[in-house]
Amino acid sequence: MEGTGRKATGARSSAVPAHEGQTRAAIVQLLLEQGPITATAISAELGLAPAGVRRHLDALIDAGQARASRSAPWQQKGRGRPAKQYQLTAAGRGNLGHAYDDLAGAAIRQLGEIGGDEAISEFARKRVRTIVDGIEPVAEHTAPVIEAKVEEIAEAFADAGFAATTRQVGAGVQICQHHCPVAHVAEEFPQLCAAELDAFRDLLGTHVQRLATIANGDCACTTHVPLVAVPKIPSAAQPAAGRTNDSGRSAE
């Protein structure tokens, strides 16, 4: 399944010419939406020479905005040394904008002091309802209906700045949020992530599983949705995703 994510604003270095900045922004966008990704895949996607792509990747790594790691053996295609895969660091994602994090964090802390954890949870639920406003719960639990509803949810989150896409995996589909505008705040207040998951369950009418989160240090928030209905499990019964350093993405 092709991703449905919307474009996010890439970081542009002021130390390079305008056309170079545009190229680097396009590479940053791919690292955001498809990372971990190889230089070869970036070259093919953007129609650029591999040497030029690697030059930009090296510059991003030197600036602390990207990192490289070797593909796992199961990800390797063909023989030879495993290819390097590149992805944005937390600093690289930070350049894409985390507006008003300090103010938002202070406001939520104050809310917690006044109304306790339940007040924070209710705030988180209202925030998500704003994002998915107008999306109706599934009317029937068939694979095509659930798949279409997942696309609708991903589109709403993409429009809200989460660079959301979907991809089919086995007997399910995954919502991949490659950017989180409130990631720094969500690290302190997991209620924000929990409210998203509850909204997914309510709209899809089935149990969904969060595989990875940016707030936990992963390179994307990945949520698995089965394409056949299974009983919903209350959020309190599902353990929070731990630090896995696994974006949930398949090999490029």
pLDDT tens-digit profile, the chain (252 residues): 444 433 333 333 334 445 677 888 889 888 887 878 899 999 999 999 999 999 999 999 998 889 998 765 544 555 556 678 998 887 787 666 544 567 788 889 999 999 999 999 999 999 999 999 999 999 888 999 999 999 999 999 999 989 899 999 988 999 999 888 888 889 899 999 999 999 999 999 999 999 999 888 888 899 999 987 555 555 544 444 444 444 443 333
Nearest CA to 227 out of 173, 174, 176 is that of 173
Q: Tens digit of pLDDT for each residue in 189-233?
A: 999 999 999 999 999 999 999 999 988 888 889 999 998 755 555
Q: Strand 84-88 vs strand 172-177: parallel, antiparallel, or unpaired?
A: unpaired
Q: Tens digit of pLDDT for each residue in 36-56?
A: 889 999 999 999 999 999 999
The identity of residue 109, as a single letter, is R
List of E strands, 131-251: 164-169, 172-177, 209-212, 221-226
- What gap in Å lies between CA 178 and CA 173, rounded to an integer? 16
- What gap in Å lies between CA 201 and CA 54, rounded to an integer? 41
DSSP 86: E
Which pTM value belongs to this model?
0.59
